[in-house]
Structure 1
Amino acid sequence: MSTAARRARERAQRHQLIITAARELAETEGWEAVTTRRLAERVEYSQPVLYSHFGGKDGIVRAVALEGFTELTAALRRARESVQEHGPEDGTGRTLRAVGMAYWDFAARHPALYQAMFVLPTDLKFAHEETPQALRDAFGEFVAAFDPADPERLAMAEVSWASLHGLTTLGMSGRVPTATQTERIELLVTLLVGGG
C-alpha cells in the first residue's frame, strides 16, 4: 500500500471515529455536551485535527446528520420492501404505515441523531440542486411508498413526511404522549390514503 493510500485510509478512519464519538456523546449527554474539546479528549486527537476534518462543531453535526440520513433510508427501505414484496394487493396504506412506523422507531431509538438531522441548524437543504444524495435517497423512500401511477405521488410523499416529522417532534418533546403514537400514524395513513 502506498503512503498516500495509507494516509487516506487513516484519515477516513479518524473521520469516522470523530463522527461515532460525537454521536455517542450526543446520545448519552445531549448535543450541548458535544464540544471540540470533549471530542478531542474522547478520540485522543488534538482540536486542530478535529478542525482539519470538519471545521468545527457545525461540520461535525452535518456529518452526523448525513450518516443519519443514510441509516434512515435503510430503515425505511427495509420497512417498505417487507410490505411491497407481498405484492400490490397489500396497498399503499400498508406500505405507508410500515414506513411511518419505521420512521418513528428510528427517531425514538436515536433521538440525538434525529436532532442533528432535523432540529439543529445545518447547511443541509432539501429540494435544492445542492441537496446531498443521502437526503434525496431518504425522500425517495417516501415517494416509493406511493403508487408510481399516482400524479400526486411527490406531493403525497412531502405531506406524509412533513406530517410524520411533526408527530415525531411533538412526541419526542413530550408535547403529545408517545404511548398513542401508533394510533396517530394509523390515523395519518387513513387520512392520506384510506385504510388500504
Structure 2
Amino acid sequence: MASKERIQRLKEDTRMNILKAALQIVKEEGWQALSMRKIADVIEYTAPIIYEYFSNKDAIILELTRKGYLILSRDLEEAKSKHRLPAKQLEAMWLAYWNFAFANKELYQAMYGVNTNYSCELMNTLPEAERPWDLFTAVIGELMGIQDMESNMICTKYYTFWSVVHGLISINILSRGNSDEINRQVLKDAIGAIIRSMTGQFSPGTAPVKENKSVE
C-alpha cells in the first residue's frame, strides 16, 4: 500500500511540475510560445512523458484555467466575508476580481481570452467557471431583492459590472497607460455608479450621493 501511495504521489508531483513549467514559460514568453517540447525541456523530461499526463497543449491550458477559477472564487469568497451589506460585498468582490487579474495575469488571459487565441467556449465548459457567476449573482439578487437567480435583471446587472471591469482590465493588460491610483479610482467610480443605479440612490437628472474618493 505504501508503495502504491508513493507512486501516486510521484505522479501527482510530476503533473504539478508540468503545470508549473507551462506557467513559467507563459510568464516569460507569452501564451504563443507554449509547447509540449518546451515544457519537457524545462522539467528535463522527454516529450512522450508529458503526453502521459496531458493529451495535448490545450489540456494543459484547460487545467491552468481551472486553477485560475479556483483561485478567483476563493478570493471572491474572502472579500465577501469581510462585509455584511450586499453593496459593500459587491464593491469588495469586484475589487478582488481586479486584484486577481493583475496578480495572475497569465491565468486571467487564458480564462477570458485576453490577447490569446484560446476559445472562451472551451474554458466555460469547466464547472469551476460557474462559481464566480454564482457568487456575484447571489449578492446582486440580495441587493435588488430578487430571489429568482434566473432573472434577466440579475443577468443584466452582472454583465453591466463585468463588461466595465473586464474592459478596464483588458485595456490595462494590453497597455497599462494610467497609474495604479487612477485605474483604481476609475474602477471604484464605475462600480459605485452601478450599485447606486441598482439601489435607486439617485435618478436621472439628480445629483448622485457624494462618496469618499480616497483610494484604498
TM-score, normalised via structure 2 length: 0.75
AA in 2 matched with 1:190: G
Deviation at 1:174, TM superposition (A): 1.2
Deviation at 1:66, TM superposition (A): 0.8
**1:70 touches 1:138 (CA, 8 Å); kept in 2?**
no
The alpha-carbon distance between structure 1 residues 125 and 115, as it changes in their structure 2 partners (threshold 3 A), is closer
Runs of 5+ unmatched residues, structure 1: none
**1:27 touches 1:113 (CA, 8 Å); kept in 2?**
no
Moved over 4 A (4+): 2-6
* Corresponding position: 1:138 with 2:140: no
Q: 1:124 aligns with which of 109, 122, 125?
A: 122
Between stretches 63-72 and 106-115, larger displacement belongs to: 106-115
Deviation at 1:104, TM superposition (A): 1.2
* Corresponding position: 1:102 with 2:96: yes
AA in 2 matched with 1:39: I
AA in 2 matched with 1:154: C
The alpha-carbon distance between structure 1 residues 36 and 75, as it changes in their structure 2 partners (threshold 3 A), is same
**2:65 touches 2:123 (CA, 8 Å); kept in 1?**
no
RMSD (Å), alpha carbons: 2.4
**1:97 touches 1:185 (CA, 8 Å); kept in 2?**
no
* Corresponding position: 1:188 with 2:186: no
When Rg is computed on C-alpha atoms for both structures, the one with the higher figure is: 2
Distance in 1 separating the partners of 2:172 and 2:69: 20
Deviation at 1:24, TM superposition (A): 2.0
Runs of 5+ unmatched residues, structure 2: 200-216
Task: Give the match's secondary structure for 2:140.
Answer: coil
* Corresponding position: 1:159 with 2:181: no
AA in 1 matched with 2:195: V
Alignment of 1:49-128 (within 5 A): 49-83=49-83, 87-88=84-85, 91-92=86-87, 94-119=88-113, 120=116, 121-122=118-119, 124-126=122-124
Deviation at 1:29, TM superposition (A): 2.7
Deviation at 1:103, TM superposition (A): 1.1
Q: What is aligned with 2:29? A: 29
Cα deviation digits, residues 96-139 of structure 1 (max 9, x gap): 2211211111111121121121123145253xxxx322101122
Distance in 1 separating the partners of 2:3 and 2:141: 51
Residue identity over aligned pairs, in percent, reads: 24
